[in-house]
Amino acid sequence: MLFASRATCAVAAAMVGLALIAPADASPITYNISFSGGGTLPTSASFQYDPNTAVFSSFIVNWAGYVMDFTASANAPTGTIGCTGTSASVYQFLLGTGVCPGTNLIQWNGFVSPGFQSGFSFADLGGGGNNTILSIQVGPLAPGAVSVNGTGHFTVAQATPEPSTALQLSLGLLFFGGLACLLPRPAWRRTGTRNATSGHDFGRRP
């Protein structure tokens, strides 16, 4: 029975230990985008990206009444001049690190006008101009009744929380509790131990 109890403790400790070392980013991570600049700013934008597979599973921007899906463009960017267009490089410049040669200018831009079909884009302008570009874009957008435009910078922040401190503490206590139950019990807790010389029965302490 003691062996079974210790085996159970060992299995429990091992399972909790694996949970403690499991990667926190095992699933896609959600990010929110905040915008600054001039003109009409997007009201909301977010994307989900899995750094283990380098895949965007969702990328939605709400701007000027348009709901734009950038998922396909982010996974296979086509607006490139002199830059490597991959989902990983898109993720990198969205987080603020330039991927194009030059002094990177990372920005967003949107434009719609009556009678014209326009669009919305995120871009890394490597040299601060049009000499090197990596961009993702949605368009053409349906012409609007009035002209709407906007441009500026953006920041990205992770929305999915990391495992809480309380959860990690609880798992840690379970782990060490499992290890503790593997330790030998004190001699005074063992029952039915008889002294062979005196015949005295050293039973459990009261």
Mean residue pLDDT of the chain comes to 78
Inform me whether the pLDDT recorded for 117 exceeds 90: no
Per cent of the chain over pLDDT 90 is 46
**pLDDT confidence of residue 175:** 55
Q: How confident is the model at residue 132 (pLDDT cuts 50, 70, 90)?
A: confident
CB distance 32 to 156 below 8 Å: yes
Token look-up 């029975």 returns: 1
Tell me if the pTM is above 0.85: no
Query: What is the pLDDT at residue 181?
Result: 62
- Select the highest-mean-pLDDT range: 23-32, 57-66, 155-164, 175-184: 57-66
Radius of gyration of the chain (CA): 30
- Distance separating alpha carbons of residues 82 and 99, to the nearest angstrom: 10
Q: Would you state the pLDDT for residue 82?
A: 84
Check residue 182 and give its pLDDT. Answer: 57
Rounded CA gap, 106 and 92, in Å? 11
pLDDT score at 41: 98
Model confidence over 61-81: pLDDT tens digits?
Answer: 999 999 999 999 999 998 788
Q: What dihedral angle (degrees, nearest 10) is formed by the CA atoms of 171, 172, 175, 177?
A: -110
- What is the rounded distance in angstroms from the CA atom of residue 134 to the CA atom of residue 101? 10
The DSSP output letter for 104 is -
Of 21 and 106, the structure prediction assigns the larger pLDDT to 106
The answer to whether the beta carbons of residues 156 and 96 sit under 8 Å apart is: yes
Q: Residue for token digits 């929380």?
A: 161
Specify the pLDDT at position 202.
44
